[in-house]
Amino acid sequence: MSTKKMLTIQDVSCFGQCSLTVALPILSAMGIETAIIPSAVLSTHTGGFTGYTFRDLTEDLPLISAHWKKENVIFDALYTGYIGSKRQLQYIKDIEKQNTRPDHLFIVDPVMADNGKLYYGFDEAFAAEMAKFVKGADVILPNLTEAAYLLKRPYVGEGYDKAFVEKTVRDLSLLSGGDVVLTGVSFSSDKLGVAAYSKAKDSVEYCFEERIEGNFHGTGDVYASCFSGALLRGSSLEQAAAIAVEFTVSAIKATLPDRREHWYGVEFEKALPELIRRLS
């Protein structure tokens, strides 16, 4: 069997362990041939750093796609993370049509918000475009804030119940047409995880692990990358969701001894050997 090929499109934060500098090593360690298209290049990520550089690469996207089409470069899967503009969203839809197999897997992490607020540089117009972009995705991976913006509903950050979560994931599935993994779900103070909705089964399964207090940059990218890799390798939706939860928590735990100095990301590299052992 030939090695599966995945294309991931998101930014390069040159330092800070997020986006492509997380996705590429995780997917490669999982045995997936991984190609990238950077949507932008930043000197660091934007969480806690100031004065960072930013170079927009929007106009490179169609040029890369055209070259690949000429060379007959096609992919088994497309996974998107941080996308910086509405125009890039349209270019990526074109890339999906031109550079993927007919039976490809399309995974969207609609990175744009958290903790009830949009990230810097995004507005409600972008959120509306993202809601259009996710249509046709096989799986979307929003957090609770992103889910609220996609559905144009008030953000509910706590005090919700299973009925709320299960209506949310079903409504998100109606929006996208595919499966949904809602991240950052918790019903107790000591557990945190995800709700995985299978459209085919019309069922929700929960994957929880120990909650570790604190703000850990890049964990969403760690989760989405591991999930995408597991799904492309043949794991079920529920299995991929659980594998990614476990790996993300392992990465956080590996970082705790160095937390004071390593505040800008998680040391996921230390958790890769155990992930590889599990997959094998």
What pLDDT was estimated at residue 84?
87
Average pLDDT score over residue span 167-190: 97
pTM, full prediction: 0.96
pLDDT range class, residue 68, cuts 50, 70, 90:
very high
pLDDT in tens, 85-105: 999 999 999 999 999 999 999
- Is the pLDDT at 2 greater than 80, yes or no? no
CATH of the domain at 95: 3.40.1190.20
Say whether 245 sits in a helix, a strand or coil: helix
* Domain region containing 95: 5-279
Classify each residue of 185-206 as buried b or exposed e, where b means 16 or more C-beta atoms within 10 Å of its C-beta. Answer: beeeeeebbbbbbbbeeeebbb
* Domains identified in the chain, total number: 1
* Pair type for strands 33-44 and 54-56: antiparallel
What pLDDT was estimated at residue 1?
52
